[in-house]
Amino acid sequence: ASLQDGADWRACLRPTRAGVALLAHGATDPKGALDLTRTLLERPEALAAPVREMLADPGRILVVDAAPGPTPALSAILPLADVICVVLLADSGSAAFI
């Protein structure tokens, strides 16, 4: 949520008891969500660059839980993905997505 602020993501990582670091999206309001979408449409590198930096650590595995469907955030990080897992529901919309 603080992508536009240029926050250092490493400082935002939260350790868990399972030994996994969590980077939560953070709280935002509808205007903030729209502003973030606009930023990613105009500058996808605003998200891709910090993700690429995180992936530079060979011991790090990055799992991204993205919103369903095509989004500017997904478009920004998709070229960096080694594995893509799409969760589908047992409904006609998911069947159409296939």
* Distance set, CA 62 to CA 20, 32, 81, 97 (Å): 10, 25, 9, 25
- Residue 4: pLDDT band with limits 50, 70, 90: low
Question: Which pLDDT score is estimated for 76?
Answer: 92
How far apart are the C-alpha atoms of 80 and 75, rounded to whole Å? 10
Question: Which pLDDT score is estimated for 1?
Answer: 63
pLDDT tens for each residue of 21-80: 888 887 888 998 899 899 999 999 988 988 898 888 888 888 888 877 788 989 999 999
Cβ–Cβ under 8 Å, residues 46 and 78: no
- Count other Cβ atoms within 10 Å, centred on residue 69: 8
